Structures are given as C-alpha cells and as structure tokens.
C-alpha cells in the first residue's frame, strides 16, 4: 500500500509559486513563524537624522530579503535532489521571517520599502534557477557564498546603526545568526567553493542592489 503524499498538480505548483512571488516581490511576504526579535524592547527616542539612517539601512535589508526569497525559490525549482529542495524551502521560510520583521520595523519607523522589489525578485529568481541548474554542489556553493556576503553586509550595517535603535539592532543580530547558520549548513552538505571571479561578480551585483534599494 502506497502511503506517500500525492504529488501536487502542476497548476497547483504554479499557483503556489505565483502567490509566493507576488507576496515577496511586493515586500509583503507571509507572516513570520517566529517571534519578532524586537518584541519587548523599548522604542528609544531618536533624532530625525538617526531615524532616517535606520530607515535607509532597513530598506536595504528588506530588499535583500526579497532577493533571498527569490534566490531560494529559483534554486529549489531547479535543484536535482528532493532533500536539497526541502533544505532550500526551509531556509526560504526563515528568510521569510526576516522579510516580515524588516517590513514591520520599517512601518514602525515611518519608512517605506524599495519601489524596485519586483526587479530584485525577478533578477534573483533567474539567478537562483541558473545556480540550481549548475548542479547541487554548485548551488550549495552559491548559497554559502551568498550567506557569507550577507553576513558581512549585516555586520557593516550593525556598525552603522544608531546606538539608540535597539529594536532594529535586535532584528539584524538575529538575521546575522540565521545567515551564518545557512552558510555553515550549506558547507556541511557538500557546497563547492565558487571561483574568485564568481564571488567578485556576486559582490558587485550586491552593491548595485544596495545602492538602488537605499534611494529608490
């Protein structure tokens, strides 16, 4: 007797993909599974300059989480093994928490997300799908390198964040912890080390998104 779950129909897969893409690219995303790290922390008084800085940094992080959703979605679509697909979906769920936390914090600060969310999503989806097509070890290598660069990016933002903004700091610190875990998990699963030109290209593309998201 076959007790395995029935395979979803292609139309159901497409509907689910479209729903996730629409939510993520517009910056809405699904509700967070985990509690917001800022819960219970007081909102300290901030100057207009400090608040503007926090908003610009959170906007960049929010855009990065839109891209992360798309990267994992693209990699999962073209991954060859079921176990890797499941791993990518789980990581995407954690990234979804980040998206929800950043969106909520932006609203608290009176800020807005980047207007270029659909662009970040579509470009990252294509990039993730290409990484997945290269094979699971290379896809994991792409994942690991992405998370290593994101961790460095978060550390830079934590250094710039106003000392008074403890609520945003708690969110970014938890995000950094999660990204470090994603990178180490990818390495443990056999990630291939990307060649230097690929790493430099990824870094350059990240800079383009950072500048664009901060101001648009």
Task: Please say if the pLDDT value at position 80 is more than 90.
Answer: no
For 178-212, what is each residue's pLDDT tens digit? Answer: 999 999 999 999 999 988 988 888 888 888 888 88
pLDDT at 25 (0 to 100) = 60
- In a domain? residue 114: yes
Task: Please say if the pLDDT value at position 47 is more than 80.
Answer: yes
- The rounded distance, in Å, linking the Cα atoms of 191 and 201 is 18
- In a domain? residue 8: no
Nearest to 89 by CA among 67, 113, 72, 109: 72
Task: Please say if the pLDDT value at position 5 is more than 60.
Answer: no
Supply φ then ψ for residue 21, to 5 degrees: -65, -45
pLDDT at 184 (0 to 100) = 94
- In a domain? residue 4: no
- In a domain? residue 24: no
Contact 147, 183 (CB under 8 A): yes
- In a domain? residue 29: no
- The rounded distance, in Å, linking the Cα atoms of 51 and 57 is 10
Number of domains composing the chain: 1
Ranking 7-21, 39-53, 150-164 by mean pLDDT, the lowest is 7-21
pLDDT at 69 (0 to 100) = 85
Nearest to 56 by CA among 129, 112, 4: 112
CATH code (residue 118): 1.20.1260.10
Opening angle at CA 17, ends 132 and 56, nearest 5: 85
For residue 151, give both structure tokens.
């961790």
- The rounded distance, in Å, linking the Cα atoms of 131 and 76 is 10
- In a domain? residue 177: yes
- In a domain? residue 97: yes
> Could you tell me the pTM of the whole model?
0.86
For 96-134, what is each residue's pLDDT tens digit? Answer: 899 999 999 999 999 998 888 888 888 888 889 999 899
Show the domain range for 95.
46-215
pLDDT at 17 (0 to 100) = 57
- In a domain? residue 181: yes
pLDDT at 177 (0 to 100) = 96
- The rounded distance, in Å, linking the Cα atoms of 31 and 189 is 29
């Amino acid at each position: 007797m076959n007790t395995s779950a029935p395979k979803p129909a292609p139309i159901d897969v497409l509907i689910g993909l479209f729903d996730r893409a629409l939510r993520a690219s517009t910056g809405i995303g699904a509700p967070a599974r985990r509690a917001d790290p800022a819960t219970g922390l007081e909102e300290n008084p901030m100057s207009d300059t400090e608040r503007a800085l926090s908003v610009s940094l959170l906007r960049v992080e929010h855009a990065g989480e839109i891209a992360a959703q798309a990267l994992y979605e693209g990699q999962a679509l073209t991954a060859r093994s079921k176990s890797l697909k499941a791993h990518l979906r789980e990581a995407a769920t954690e990234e979804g928490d980040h998206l929800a936390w950043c969106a909520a914090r932006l609203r608290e600060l009176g800020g807005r997300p980047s207007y270029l969310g659909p662009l970040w999503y579509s470009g990252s989806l294509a990039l993730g799908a290409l990484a997945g097509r290269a094979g699971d070890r290379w896809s994991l290598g792409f994942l690991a390198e992405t998370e290593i660069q994101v961790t460095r990016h978060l550390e830079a933002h934590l250094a710039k964040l106003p000392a008074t903004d403890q609520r945003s700091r708690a969110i970014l610190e938890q995000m950094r912890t999660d990204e470090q875990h994603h990178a180490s998990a990818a390495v443990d699963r056999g990630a291939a080390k990307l060649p230097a030109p690929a790493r430099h290209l990824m870094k350059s593309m990240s800079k383009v998104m950072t500048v664009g998201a901060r101001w648009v």
